[in-house]
């Protein structure tokens, strides 16, 4: 028996019964639940994924991340899953207008309560709320949730010639699951099923705030004021004389009330606009304080009795995206402006936390901690992922991390028909109101790389005309439900002007800089005019201890033609070959930097991790050195969501690669950098991304010899300052860069001289500048 929580919410998390077997017919066509007698029965956990239940039951191996065991889950793609839960209700009256709240159902499900069909779902990515009505009874209740095979459901849809997907991903065109689950270069193919987020029965009082929208219309930093819009809906209210809605704003630091406003409640919907004075505005991390206030809305009757209430935290700010295509003179713009200040973006891409999303919560706190430790002021929630839950956005609100939110569409040319448009519209109508009150939410983006994929999958067609999802459906939902937030159709966005010019990286103000990845200082990168890079990265081999956990002992080395290395590349299926290039590419990247590929595993790991660290260093500095003209970089990525060989700087097991420590230094708000050689000279540049001026003492040295010193040089707030120049090195030199002042002490380095470098010598230099512990860790990892 499950205990009721405060009489308003009954959690159904915990132990369930799970019946499963090969699907013989879709459950969504049934009016009465009929579980096939041939199905096996095991215990299940909710939240959970069916594969994890199969592991606990001994049907699947416990180490799905080891060797090629991940392929074992492919055998269950065409299965059907029946969840059963019995529970007691002492008094149904305690649950007025009861609903079944399903925070995450994966995916095509039919739900019965006590034999009465109460609803169906077809989207993994959004919460579902099903009215229970008379199906909820006093005493014993039985809930059945049948989940059909998503793969079989997808096959019911004909693939029109106008659609396109990557080799493993065709089913993703029709069923609304996280795109990565069908197989990606960062994830195995795990087309899972399950109740992956909370399940509960909840009351819905007749008089309540069913919807509240908060938006900052304008800010005045000089006057410390903001104009705020609040709109609410109370479905069961009436026009009784004297009813009103009261807004109260408090400072959580001291409980002081900073603003009170009220509006007559003349009906079920109302709006209040207020100007708040003497407040602190919300700013991104590093530039200023991410100030939050406590907001409370109360519906009062004529005699002052509270009929309904709502509360939440909010930060007052405006965030604008100024975007303008390059003109014939190369003048363009892509910059985020917060409360009138141009902000240089330093951040990363947020990718799946786990292939089994019920385990996301297990990794969330640690990964958020990494994001803060790296000093990200923006995180891009990539379109191949799920939508993160409230805890993620609450953290970003508190820590001043702006969120660029892609809609969950990625790397495909999706169907353009009324059925699919309706599915996307319903998804957006669920997600936008759910997330829109977070001050950290800076941008809605229609998709990841769909514009770009039109060149590959549908050549000769223009996404500005053909992709009605990103040009009509999604912006219409955003305008209707979140009209004061910016919307970008695609990342990167191929505007009509760019498309008319034939596209290409040379036309993009915002771009994903992947290219050949043969040399991080190659012309693809150095020749890019992009003002903002929303993706770029470089391979880095995990630590030995991590490789030993994910690979069979006899597959640990060498890497050539190695099935375990290919599986963890990631190869989605045994016969899939699309991502087989990744391991040879990583070896080539090592060869570019060091002139040869090491013949031992430990040297290969070391060389790969230094190669990754130097590449990410170059990419980040390429943008930070040109602050003012360039406006931000979101590198790929913080942490792996599966044991793999990848671009992440922290692997799935939590082991940090060498690049983590290098990137952490580079993400400091105040930094001194050495530019690339030009005409035999290198510029020494200081960048200050904070709002206040700082005075720095700067010193550059090599091998204990002073190269440059400057004391008390003032760097204005939110600026770039040229400190001086150095002659470019003609031979190998590791230059140490150090600065102190204003609480912004830091270090950086630059490796000068012609390549290839000697691995042992550069490793010794890294050991000196970063500390021996960093290099030792690449072998030890978390082992």
Listing DSSP states for 301-365 in one string gives -TTS-EEEEEEEEE----EEEEEE---TTS--EEEEEETTEEE-EEEEEE--S-SSGGGHHHHHH
pLDDT at position 398: 98
Which two structure tokens, joined as six digits, stand for 279? Answer: 């407040």
Q: Is the pTM of this model over 0.85?
A: yes
- 58 and 92 in one domain? yes
- 655 and 716 in one domain? no
pLDDT at position 159: 87
What single string gives the DSSP state of each residue in 552-564? -GGGSS--TT-HH
pLDDT tens digits for range 761-772 = 999 999 998 888
pLDDT tens digits for range 409-466 = 999 999 999 999 999 999 999 999 999 999 999 999 999 999 999 988 888 899 999 9
pLDDT at position 237: 60
Number of domains observed in the structure of the chain: 4
Where helices occur in 551-644 by DSSP H, the ranges are 563-567, 582-594, 601-624
pLDDT higher than 50, residue 2: no
- Distances from the Cα of 50 to the Cαs of 107, 108, 145, 768, in angstroms? 12, 14, 13, 49
Coil, strand or helix: which one is 586?
Answer: helix
Would you say residue 154 lies in a domain? no
Q: What angle do CA 523, 525, 529 make, to 5 degrees?
A: 100
Taking alpha carbons only, the member of 201, 2, 17, 203 closest to residue 87 is: 2
Would you say residue 339 lies in a domain? no
pLDDT tens digits for range 292-307 = 999 999 999 999 999 9
Q: What angle do CA 23, 578, 499 make, to 5 degrees?
A: 105
Confidence of residue 468 (pLDDT cuts 50, 70, 90): very high
Least confident range of 91-95, 599-603, 614-618: 91-95
- 257 and 117 in one domain? no
- 522 and 399 in one domain? yes
CA separation for the pair 765, 753 (Å, rounded): 14
What single string gives the DSSP state of each residue in 677-732? PBTTEEEEEEEE-SSS-EEEEEEEEETTEEEEEEEEEEE-TTEEEEEEEEEPPSS-
- Tell me how long the chain is: 783
Give backbone dihedrals phi and psi of 480, rounded to 5 degrees, phi first. -75, -35
pLDDT at position 206: 85
Which two structure tokens, joined as six digits, stand for 537? Answer: 């990265």
In whole numbers, what is the pLDDT of the chain averaged over residues?
95
Q: Final residue of a domain: which of 140, 175, 202?
A: 202
pLDDT tens digits for range 143-153 = 999 999 999 99
Q: How many helices (H) and strands (E) are present in the chain, helices listed first? A: 18, 37
Domain coverage including residue 773: 670-780
CA separation for the pair 539, 519 (Å, rounded): 12
Report the CATH number that the domain containing residue 484 is assigned in CATH: 3.20.20.80
pLDDT tens digits for range 324-373 = 999 988 999 999 999 999 999 999 999 999 999 999 999 999 999 999 99
Taking the CA atoms of residue 686, residue 691, residue 696 and residue 698 in that order, the dihedral angle to the nearest 10 degrees is -20
pLDDT at position 782: 61
In this structure, are residues 506 and 529 in contact, taking their beta carbons and an 8 Å threshold?
Answer: yes
Which two structure tokens, joined as six digits, stand for 410? Answer: 């990625």
Confidence of residue 223 (pLDDT cuts 50, 70, 90): very high
Q: Final residue of a domain: which of 179, 202, 225?
A: 202
- 502 and 379 in one domain? yes
- Residue 512 CB neighbours (<10 A): 21
- 507 and 385 in one domain? yes
pLDDT at position 577: 85
pLDDT at position 6: 39
Report the CATH number that the domain containing residue 45 is assigned in CATH: 2.60.120.260
- 531 and 393 in one domain? yes
- 16 and 139 in one domain? yes
- 351 and 398 in one domain? yes
pLDDT at position 1: 30
- 102 and 47 in one domain? yes
Sheet of 225-233, strands arranged across: 211-220, 225-233, 269-277
Would you say residue 736 lies in a domain? yes
- Distances from the Cα of 88 to the Cαs of 7, 91, 553, in angstroms? 13, 9, 51
Would you say residue 403 lies in a domain? yes
pLDDT higher than 60, residue 67: yes
pLDDT higher than 90, residue 38: yes
Please give the share of the chain, as a percent, with pLDDT higher than 90: 88
pLDDT tens digits for range 369-409 = 999 999 999 999 999 999 999 999 999 999 999 999 999 99
Tokens 């448009």 correspond to what residue?
A: 421
Would you report the helix, strand and coil content of the chain in percent, each value rounded to 5? 25, 35, 40
pLDDT higher than 60, residue 202: yes
pLDDT at position 4: 34
pLDDT tens digits for range 74-112 = 999 999 999 999 999 999 988 999 999 999 999 999 999
Q: Which helix (H) or strand (E) holds 140?
A: strand 139-147
Would you say residue 337 lies in a domain? no
Would you say residue 604 lies in a domain? no
pLDDT at position 737: 98
User: What's the 3-state SS for 183-208?
Assistant: CECCECCCCCCEECCCEEEECCCCCC
- 703 and 746 in one domain? yes
Would you say residue 61 lies in a domain? yes
CA separation for the pair 734, 704 (Å, rounded): 11
Residues 6+ apart with CB under 8 A from 156: none
- 687 and 658 in one domain? no
Would you say residue 35 lies in a domain? yes
pLDDT higher than 80, residue 646: yes
Report the CATH number that the domain containing residue 699 is assigned in CATH: 2.60.40.10
Coil, strand or helix: which one is 368?
Answer: helix
Least confident range of 5-9, 55-59, 209-213, 346-350: 5-9
Span 646-669, mean pLDDT? 97
CA separation for the pair 224, 221 (Å, rounded): 5
């Amino acid at each position: 028996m499950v205990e009721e929580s405060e009489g308003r919410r009954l959690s159904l998390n915990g132990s369930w019964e799970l019946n499963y077997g090969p699907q013989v017919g879709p459950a969504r066509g049934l009016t009465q639940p009929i579980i096939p007698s041939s199905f096996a029965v095991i215990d299940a956990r909710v939240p959970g994924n069916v594969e994890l239940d199969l592991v606990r039951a001994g049907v699947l191996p416990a180490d799905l991340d080891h060797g090629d065991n991940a392929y074992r889950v492919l055998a269950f793609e065409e299965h059907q899953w029946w969840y059963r839960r019995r529970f007691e209700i002492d008094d149904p009256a305690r649950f007025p207008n009861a609903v079944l709240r399903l925070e995450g159902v994966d995916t095509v499900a039919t739900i019965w309560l006590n034999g009465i069909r109460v609803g169906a779902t077809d989207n993994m990515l959004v919460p579902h709320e099903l009215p229970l009505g008379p199906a909820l009874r006093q005493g014993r209740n039985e809930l059945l949730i049948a989940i059909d095979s998503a793969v079989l459901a997808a096959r019911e849809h004909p693939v029109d010639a106008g659609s396109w997907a990557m080799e493993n991903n065709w089913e993703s065109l029709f069923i609304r699951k996280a795109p990565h689950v069908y197989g990606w270069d960062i994830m195995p193919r795990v087309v899972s099923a399950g109740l992956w987020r909370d399940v509960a029965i909840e009351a819905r009082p007749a008089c309540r705030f069913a919807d509240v929208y908060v938006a900052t219309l304008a800010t005045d930093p000089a006057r410390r004021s903001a104009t705020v819009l609040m709109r609410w809906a109370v479905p069961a209210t009436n026009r009784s004389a004297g009813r009103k809605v009261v807004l109260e704003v408090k400072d959580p630091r001291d409980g002081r009330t900073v603003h009170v406003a009220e509006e007559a409640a003349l009906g079920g919907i109302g709006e209040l606009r207020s100007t708040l004075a003497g407040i602190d505005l919300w700013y991104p991390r590093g530039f200023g304080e991410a100030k939050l206030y406590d907001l409370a809305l109360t519906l009062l009757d004529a005699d002052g009795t509270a009929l309904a209430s709502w509360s939440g935290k909010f930060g007052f700010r405006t965030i604008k995206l100024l975007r303008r295509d390059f003109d014939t003179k190369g003048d363009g713009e892509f910059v985020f402006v917060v409360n009138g200040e141009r902000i240089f973006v330093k951040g990363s891409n947020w990718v799946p936390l786990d292939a089994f999303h019920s385990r996301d919560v297990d990794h969330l706190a640690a990964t958020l901690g990494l994001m803060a430790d790296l000093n990200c002021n923006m995180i891009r929630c990539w379109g191949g992922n799920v939508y993160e839950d409230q805890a993620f956005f609450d953290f970003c609100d508190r820590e001043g991390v702006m969120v660029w939110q892609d809609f969950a569409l990625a790397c495909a040319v999706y169907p353009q028909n009324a059925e699919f448009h309706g599915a996307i519209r319903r998804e957006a109508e669920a997600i936008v109101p759910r997330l829109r009150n977070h001050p950290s939410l800076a941008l809605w983006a229609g998709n990841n790389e769909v514009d770009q994929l039109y060149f590959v999958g549908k050549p000769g067609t223009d996404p500005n005309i053909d992709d009605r999802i990103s040009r009509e459906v999604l912006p219409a939902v955003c305008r209707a439900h979140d009209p004061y937030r910016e919307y970008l159709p695609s990342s990167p966005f191929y505007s009509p002007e760019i498309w008319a010019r034939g596209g290409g990286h040379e036309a993009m103000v915002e771009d994903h800089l992947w290219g050949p990845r043969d040399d991080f200082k190659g012309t693809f990168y150095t020749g890019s005019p992009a003002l903002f890079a929303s993706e770029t990265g470089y391979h880095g081999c995990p630590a030995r201890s991590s490789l030993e956990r994910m690979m069979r002992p006899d597959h640990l080395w060498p890497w050539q033609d190695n099935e375990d290395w290919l599986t963890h590349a990631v190869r989605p299926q045994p016969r899939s070959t699309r991502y087989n290039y990744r391991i040879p590419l990583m070896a080539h990247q090592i060869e570019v930097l060091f002139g040869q590929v090491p013949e031992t595993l430990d040297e290969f790991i070391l060389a790969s991790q230094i190669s990754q660290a130097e590449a990410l260093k170059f990419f980040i500095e390429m943008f930070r050195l040109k602050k003012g003209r360039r406006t931000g970089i979101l590198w790929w990525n913080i942490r792996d969501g599966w044991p793999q060989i990848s671009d992440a700087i922290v692997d799935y097991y939590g082991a940090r690669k060498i690049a983590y420590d290098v990137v952490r230094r580079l993400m400091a708000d105040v930094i001194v950098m050495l530019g690339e050689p030009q005409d035999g000279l290198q510029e020494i540049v200081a960048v200050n991304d904070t709002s206040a001026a700082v005075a720095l003492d700067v010193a550059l040295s090599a091998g204990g010899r002073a190269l440059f010193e400057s004391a008390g040089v003032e760097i204005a707030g939110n600026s770039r300052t040229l400190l001086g120049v150095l002659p470019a090195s003609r031979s190998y030199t590791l230059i140490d860069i150090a600065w102190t002042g204003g609480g912004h002490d830091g270090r950086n380095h630059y490796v000068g001289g012609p390549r290839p470098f000697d691995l042992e010598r550069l490793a010794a230099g890294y050991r000196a500048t970063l500390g021996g512990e960093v290099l030792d860790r690449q072998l030890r990892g978390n082992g």
